[in-house]
Structure 1
Amino acid sequence: MLRPLPLLLAVLLAAGCAATGDAGGGEKGTSGTGPITFATGRDTTAYLQPLLDRWNQAHPAEKVTLLELPEAADEQRAQMAANLQAQSSRYDVLGLDVFWTAEFAENGWIIPLERGLFPLDRFLPPVVETAIYKDKLWAVPFTSNAGLLYYRKDLVKKPPRTWAELRDQARQITKKHNIGGYAGQFLAYEGLTVNFSEAVQSAGGEIVNRDGTEVTLDPAKGATAIEFLLQGLREGWIPRESLSYKEEESRLAFQEGRLAFARNWPHAYGPARAKLGDKLGVTRLPGLNGPGSSTLGGANLAVSAFSKHQQTAQEFIRYFTSLENERRVLTEGSFPPVWAELYDDPALIKRFPYLPVLKESILAARPRPVSANYNQLSLVIASSVAEALSNPSPGAADDVAASMKSELEEIIRTQ
């Protein structure tokens, strides 16, 4: 049992009952105990239920039921938003993408949590930032994520550290072996926003400041990021079919031998390793003048403001983000944990050789803008970049970057 001490519970429950549209206070639910529902994206690796079974065996009166939402993040958010806007108590614990924190807190859909109840000081620092909004903890990090560059060791002598090195190697391999050189996630959706954000960061810029109050995109750096992709398309080392790629398509293209390099999340490692064996290599994303910067991904766990069993929900989150469970999240689900010490565990590194590189990538990663209007920002970014990539006319990169900045500034002004 992981029940907190009575004093801590009193503090937690006092904080837990407060949630309003301005991320302030106001009771929305009851802080009771009982069965709960865990709503999260589809479990594609079937690792969640065994972890839930362990909780259920120890808590027969407070069993948790898994409610799997669609695999696509946009669809998950849409279903959660519809449920919470209706103030339904159907969901108790919410598995949130890390960039939803501000929106869900601002709308009063989740409750603030007591920081002292969770070992945040033992988590990787960047992942903790994703759960904080207006100086309050609104969720608890559950998994982390950062983009990695997958490459073929049998085709690449030394992995690239810069875009220029990536370009040179990809062009040579494409010409010699008649396969694609490089691809990421270039369809017009959140994945393209991530890929563009990483390119901007890797060129030394940013799109929006950390608190989401100002557009800080330098149009020149934005154009440099777009031109990196346009050059690959024009020269053929980025295949045009990659304009339809999401994570799954790019993963399959790489592990099936149709790409020499691919940007993807750590979940792609297991299947690629099974297919390619010792031919698989993993390194940090390259940048303009050296190693690049990834977008910070992952999932956080939050408590619905309309849950009738908030006490149980919070205790469940403590259990689910414990060190023991986080180890299982990696070993059984292949998802990056949030506990820093797991990345230095020799036994885990032997089983998951990419862990040291992944830790470096997470520590160098940047979270997406903290904004209640993040979805609007992402839509503008993805649609703008997609237009440039599909119609690579002269000067397209400069025009798109300037226009994008104006549209983003309009969204920030009206939020």
Structure 2
Amino acid sequence: MRRLIPSLLAAVLLSGCTGLGERAAVPGAEIDGTGPMTFATGRDTTGYLQPLIDEWNDRHPKERVRLLELPEAADEQRAQMVANLQAKSERYDVLGLDVVWTAEFAGAGWIVPLDRSMFPLDRLLPPVVDTAVYQGKLYAMPYTSNAGLLYYRKDILDREGLKPPKTWAELREQAVRLGKKYKMDGYAGQFLAYEGLTVNFAEAVQSAGGQILSPDGTKVTLDLHTATTGLDFLVGGLRQGWIPQDALSYKEEESRLAFQQGKLLFARNWPPAYGPATRSAVAGKFAVTRLPGRDGPGSSSLGGLNLAISAYSRHQKSALEFIRYFTGLANERRVLTDGSFPPVWSELYDDPDLIKRYPYLPVLKESIMSARPRPVTPKYDQVSLMISSAVSDALNFREPGEDTIATLKQQLSEIIRTP
């Protein structure tokens, strides 16, 4: 993995700006703030973004938006954005940020705070809004959300007279017994040493009743017993064979394909995997439910994308209006129907027509509402790298689970304490 760990920049100087709570005092701040823009975000794998941008461009010929697609991998997206912002470049105006980057980018002064009254925050899913807030200020507008789901072979469970598992014990029993009977692998998530492994580990810890950092990100709260219980759920699956060794190389795409090809009974993945599965060998044979936990339904990591304004943009007024347009209700509906991504407007999850077309919406809403953000800290990249590396060692049997957690807690404490 290529990662770039930035040093924090000095706090930005602030001045008033219509539509912005405060505006960074940067070169060019004296200009009127309108004009053509660049929207930098991860690669659009579905092709739905450009038509939405074209509609804006047709109506705003003097404020046209150019879509700049960064790499698909979140780590590489972040690296390119950080390099741009550390250089105080004016190239990017609107930034598509992973929800876990808000604290880092806001703390470094790379994005500007927004006026809450400019957005319909009361109509959005509350956990989603929280991902855009840092130290009490709104720094971005939520655009898409995400929560992990358990994909399962409904046809097989129905044939066996079983309901989908709600606990790890039920998942383990069904994966072992039915995997052997139907000659399939039991369960997989994203277990390669990258950001996805941090997500899967965080979900295991949360689903065991623990957490990694305090809500304000200032203290490591990793309980040795609880975190080891969560880690042992994954390590035990690999030792016992109901999690296949191949899963150690899985990212989202690999786990999606394994499930679609009929190799897995159960798979943890994000909602965008649902649409392709309906056009695969398992079409009509699968369903989704909430992730299982230690004693009942578990807790997912909260994912998604927020839109923020670069502190070095010369077109912040235009950027603000573009974000308001792009995150409006009509476009949020298209986020789901055209892009297959979970929207952030609460009412869309209760729309009968959408539920008929996307039957997983009620379950997804439950998952988002019970999800938790990954560790909130300006040092998230360092934290995530440390977690994925340590957990990978445990999954590959290089380090016992309890020793892994003890060492990880110490290392995370050192990262958090370091100025």
Shared fold, TM over 0.5:
yes
User: Equivalent residues in 2 for 1:187-336 (5 A)?
Assistant: 187-275=192-280, 276-336=282-342
CA distance in 2, matches of 1:66, 1:32: 19
Q: CA deviation at 1:10?
A: 5.0
CA distance in 2, matches of 1:219, 1:306: 43
Counterpart position of 2:365? 359
Query: In percent, how many aligned pairs have the same letter?
Result: 68
CA distance in 1, matches of 2:151, 2:97: 27
Amino acid corresponding to residue 239 of structure 1 in structure 2: P
CA distance in 2, matches of 1:69, 1:328: 22
CA distance in 1, matches of 2:298, 2:141: 27
User: Equivalent residues in 2 for 1:177-196 (5 A)?
Assistant: 177-196=182-201
Amino acid corresponding to residue 327 of structure 1 in structure 2: R
Aligned residues: 397
User: Equivalent residues in 2 for 1:8-407 (5 A)?
Assistant: 10-13=17-20, 15-18=21-24, 26-27=25-26, 29-30=28-29, 32-156=33-157, 157-275=162-280, 276-391=282-397, 396-407=400-411
Q: Aligned-residue CA RMSD in angstroms?
A: 1.2
CA distance in 1, matches of 2:28, 2:206: 41
Check whether the contact 1:296–1:368 (CA below 8 A) recurs between aligned residues. Answer: yes
Q: Any idea what the Cα deviations from partners look like across 1:135-176, whole Å, max 9, x if unmatched?
A: 111100000000000000111231000000000000012211
Q: Secondary structure at the match of 1:277?
A: coil
Check whether the contact 2:17–2:23 (CA below 8 A) recurs between aligned residues. Answer: no
Q: CA deviation at 1:367?
A: 0.7
Check whether the contact 1:214–1:412 (CA below 8 A) recurs between aligned residues. Answer: yes
1:190 to 1:29, Cα distance in 2 relative to 1, 3 A:
farther
1:28 to 1:197, Cα distance in 2 relative to 1, 3 A:
farther
CA distance in 2, matches of 1:28, 1:295: 38
Q: CA deviation at 1:268?
A: 0.3
Q: CA deviation at 1:29?
A: 4.8
Q: CA deviation at 1:231?
A: 1.1
CA distance in 1, matches of 2:71, 2:95: 14
1:408 aligns with 2:412: yes
- The TM-score with structure 1 as length reference comes to 0.94
Runs of 4+ in 1 over 6 A off after TM superposition: none
Q: Secondary structure at the match of 1:17?
A: strand
CA distance in 1, matches of 2:17, 2:416: 38
Q: Give the gaps of 5 or more residues in structure 2.
A: 1-15
Amino acid corresponding to residue 166 of structure 1 in structure 2: L
More helix by share: 1
Check whether the contact 2:33–2:318 (CA below 8 A) recurs between aligned residues. Answer: yes
CA distance in 2, matches of 1:29, 1:257: 56
Q: CA deviation at 1:12?
A: 2.3
Q: CA deviation at 1:177?
A: 1.6
Check whether the contact 1:46–1:333 (CA below 8 A) recurs between aligned residues. Answer: yes
Check whether the contact 1:230–1:392 (CA below 8 A) recurs between aligned residues. Answer: no
Q: Any idea what the Cα deviations from partners look like across 1:279-333, whole Å, max 9, x if unmatched?
A: 0110000000000000000000000011111000000000000001100110000
Q: CA deviation at 1:274?
A: 1.4
Q: CA deviation at 1:226?
A: 1.1
Check whether the contact 1:163–1:287 (CA below 8 A) recurs between aligned residues. Answer: yes
Q: Secondary structure at the match of 1:263?
A: strand
